[in-house]
Amino acid sequence: MHDDRSLVEGRLKRVLDERIRPAVHPESVPLDVAVWHAPDEPVPVAEGLAAEPAPIAVGAKWGAPWGTSWFKVTGTVPEHWAGRTVEALLDLGFDENMPGFQCEGLVYRPDGTPVKGLNPRNQWVRIGAPVEGGEPVALHIEAASNPVILDYHPFLPTQLGDKETAGSEPQYTLTRMDLAVFDETVWQLVIDLEVLGELMAELPVDSARRHDIVRAVERALDAVDLQDVGSTAAEARARLEGVLSAPAVPSAHRISAVGHAHIDSAWLWPLRETVRKVARTTSNMTALLEDEPDFVFAMSQAQQWAWIRDHRPEVWARVKEAVAEGRFVPTGGMWVESDTNMPGSEAMARQFVHGKRFFLDEFGIENDEAWLPDTFGFAAGLPQIIKAAGAKYLLTQKISWSQTNKFPHHTFRWEGIDGTRIFTHFPPVDTYNCSMKGSEIAHAARNFKDKGRARHSLAPTGWGDGGGGTTREMIAKAARLRDLEGSATVTWETPAAFFAQAVAEYPEPPVWVGELYLELHRATLTSQARTKQGNRRSEHLLREAELWAATAAVRTGAAYPYDDLDRIWKTVLLHQFHDILPGSSIAWVHREARATYDRVAAELEAVITAAQTALAGEGTTPLVFNAAPHPRRGVPAGGALTPVTATGTTVTAREAGGHIVDNGLLRIGVDASGLVVSAYDIDAGRETIAPGRAANLLQLHPDFPNMWDAWDVDEFYRNTVTDLTGADEVAPGEDGCSVRIVRTFGASRVTQVLTLAAGERRLLIDTEVDWHETEKFLKLAFPLDVHAERYASETQFGHFHRPTHTNTSWEAAKFEACNHRFVHLEEPGFGVAVVNDSTYGHDVTRAVRTGADPGTTTTVRVSLLRAPRFPDPETDQGVHRFRHALVPGASIGDAVREGWRINQPERALTGAGEVAPLISVDQDAVVVTAVKLADDGSGDVVVRFHEAHGGRARATLTAGFDIAGVAVTDLLERPLADTPAPEADGPRIAVRLRPFELVTLRLKRA
């Protein structure tokens, strides 16, 4: 037989596009439309409904950037439509390819009841099924004219990303406002043909099944009268019944579909708009759940649930009903879908504490899974945090975006730094916005890496990023794919049901050890430096506020600020969302973030001052409060007293030009260009800087990635570098222990102060950059005379080793990586640390020297600033201040201690006398990350600590108060029934820890 397959496929496409789809709504009449434009920010629903609108016609322009317009549409159902299904078709000017990325709407009835959301893939509102004819129709649309930031030519700089610069020109054209008859049979025929056409395209050309479908589609199209589709649609559907009823083969891949709408808590829109995006999407989903009995929808991010509760109570009521039915499912158990690379130890823990507690308090539901489909890689410390929060599983999709190496598993156990293993799944569908296309379903089955051992995967189904969620078309397609020959099978299931089945099917999957590094979006570790500094500062201020407030509560009876700390934690956690903290949001988001961090700092400073004042009492004794987890200058961790002073530092002229700074422990050589050419460890008799090289070297690279400007730095940036060696000023500081350096380059200026304080084994580097470059990358380099095949980066509750070599493509791909407070490298007998107060991105490379002084040079480079132009064209312009320290001769313990020290500075007060620590530990390797009162208001003291050096540790934890009981708890401060309490001898508690083990103790006060 002649092969006319291509002819039939071409015919199918044209007939669907030009005849059958248009016949879904065969008759229509226009609605009357009026509009009221809110003068500034969105108004309450009642105000929008009550506003007096003015007439507007279809075809008119509307919608200033970031504006809100309230449309009122009215009309009457024609009498002769009686007995038919009628819908309102409301097109605000949509581009169907941009759901979630342009104008959107939420439809209300006149009494304020929400109906459903409007977006480019969801433009209909059901009026009646059937109608009686003659019914009046009145609907209100709260329409958001959000501008298109990521357009067809992506990554072009735009001023639309901030209301202050976006202008007022209307962006959208009102396109359609009609009542229309909905022909259910024609709509079902469309879905039949789409499913079969998409399946056919994925089958082998020579397969019998493909040809069966071709012939069935041909017969169906023969049945369609192109001038009267509606009367012939039923017959066309009948001719497809045979191929649609053929069951899947027993070995078919199984897909658990989960209704989903990944909503970025901020990205190309501000936080306030996300509140409304969530309301639109959840309104849609609750309506869809009422119509579709098999459908299940899951939503993560407790913050987004709280927004519905607090801002849209009318939507919240419907959500609560759907949750009670078990079909609208809280998932993920985190406050937001946060970045996981940069949040500190306690912040990462509190993401789960606040997320899980919200779902428990509101619904009595506890999640077993962490749900992070779009996060940009996963830190090696995360598995034990997930476990400590009482969860078992992790889902993500983003690793499929890696550019260089294909991850070898889709279902596996992920092992973290302490040995904890978490059952993890990457959906092989390779999207968290699955739309049930045949190409997506076929890709999931073909792509699944664990064939032969498992055959079950998950597909998050629905429009996301900007919200929207699942559509009725997706559900109709899934119904046909439930058991269809040639396809994977599809069933709607909750995340919990999927994971239970996946574990049962594949109880011993392969293991992946260490971080889940995303080979993409590496520049998110540097972009928007002020946002990152605000996060780091907030984390340490929160730790300090809890420590001193708890100490004051126990010692003086001062009130503990439970509500304030809870609120501030949630604010900080929100800003760790994976497009805020990584610096990949529009200008508006980061402008607001800077202001928010300033308010948070002011509030926390007030809490700290009040608590320390209460503890110090009245007096004139100079006191230094040390919040860091290690003693320093004689001041105990968590206590206050007069510090021990050290002998002095000298600054002298260097023979070759520049200065020598010496404090008897280190001797630092600064040349005439302000570069550190020597960092000599006097006790070790050892030079730290590589021969012929200089540290404190600022290096400038061009930085224009192929795409994703704020997100990406491509490896070719290294091909061109400018060393900033010119100095306008190199002079001793007035304090007698420092050197001041001033440089100018381009339109920018750098001022540095290098300080070697008395008694300290670290060179402190304060850098102020007045940054006015564009598409440039600024690094600070430290070439070190250390032979190291690997180095350590701090991560949550420990550190993680990465190789310094590039033996394989996996290692070469990690050319930019994340650290928290320190990077440490060592050879036997000598190590060096570079610590920081607010930077995350870095790179480490190695080179072998030849000639008179051979050896290995290992270079650590700290990433300071970038200047991408999308999505914020003014990214990081202005003044920035960074603090780093070079610590020669450092062990890993020194790196831990100095990292804390630079981030948790001392505070000086006067008072009556010494303040003893509330909690003390006699072992440096055991680091206390939290001292606080229990969240339940009981007055119990909660202490969280971990082993920080990577070895086993024995320690005695001493409480500065009488204790009546000790319990080991999870992160939510609930006792672990299967974990015995450590031995206690009065206030002293003996603990033993495995490498990097995380422990939370709850101490009941006597």
Cite the active site residues.
Answer: 374
Which 3 state secondary structure label does DSSP give 729? strand
Extract the tokens encoding 296.
Answer: 């299940």
What does the radius of gyration of the chain's CA atoms come to, in whole angstroms? 31
Whole-angstrom distance, CA of residue 786 vs CA of residue 791: 11
**Torsion angle, alpha carbons of 223, 228, 234, 237, to 10:** 50
CA end-to-end distance (rounded Å), the chain: 91
SS3 sequence of 533-583:
HHHHHHHHHHHHHHHHHHHHHHHHCCCCCHHHHHHHHHHHHHCCECCCCCC
Whole-angstrom distance, CA of residue 402 vs CA of residue 354: 31
Whole-angstrom distance, CA of residue 258 vs CA of residue 608: 45
Query: Closest Cα partner for 676 from 666, 685, 663?
Result: 666
Whole-angstrom distance, CA of residue 414 vs CA of residue 384: 10
The number of CA neighbours under 13 Å toward the Cβ of 42 is: 22
User: 255, 455 in Cβ contact below 8 A?
Assistant: no
Identify the DSSP state of 643: P
In degrees rounded to 5, what are phi and psi of residue 344? -70, 175
* Residue 255: its H or E element: strand 254-259
Extract the tokens encoding 163.
Answer: 């209301």
In degrees rounded to 5, what are phi and psi of residue 495? -55, -40
User: 232, 223 in Cβ contact below 8 A?
Assistant: yes
The DSSP string of 202-226 is HS-TT-HHHHHHHHHHHHHHHH--T
Whole-angstrom distance, CA of residue 236 vs CA of residue 189: 7
User: 586, 872 in Cβ contact below 8 A?
Assistant: yes
SS3 sequence of 593-622:
HHHHHHHHHHHHHHHHHHHHHHHHCCCCEE
User: 743, 723 in Cβ contact below 8 A?
Assistant: no
For residue 197, is it left (φ>0), alpha (ψ between -120 and 50) or beta? Answer: alpha
Instruction: State the pairing for strand pair 67-76/32-37.
Output: antiparallel
Instruction: State the pairing for strand pair 393-395/369-371.
Output: parallel
User: 383, 413 in Cβ contact below 8 A?
Assistant: no
Query: Closest Cα partner for 876 from 835, 838, 903?
Result: 838
- For residue 304, the Cα-to-chain-centroid distance in whole angstroms is 14
Whole-angstrom distance, CA of residue 93 vs CA of residue 170: 11
Vertex 396 angle, CA 394 and 401, to 5°: 150
Identify the DSSP state of 18: I
Which 3 state secondary structure label does DSSP give 902? helix
Which 3 state secondary structure label does DSSP give 937? coil
669: Cβ–Cβ under 8 A, 6 or more apart, which residues? Answer: 654, 658, 659, 660, 676, 677, 678, 679, 680
- For residue 250, the Cα-to-chain-centroid distance in whole angstroms is 39
User: 267, 524 in Cβ contact below 8 A?
Assistant: no
Q: Which residue in the block uniquely carries the two structure tokens 């083969």?
A: 249
User: 825, 804 in Cβ contact below 8 A?
Assistant: yes
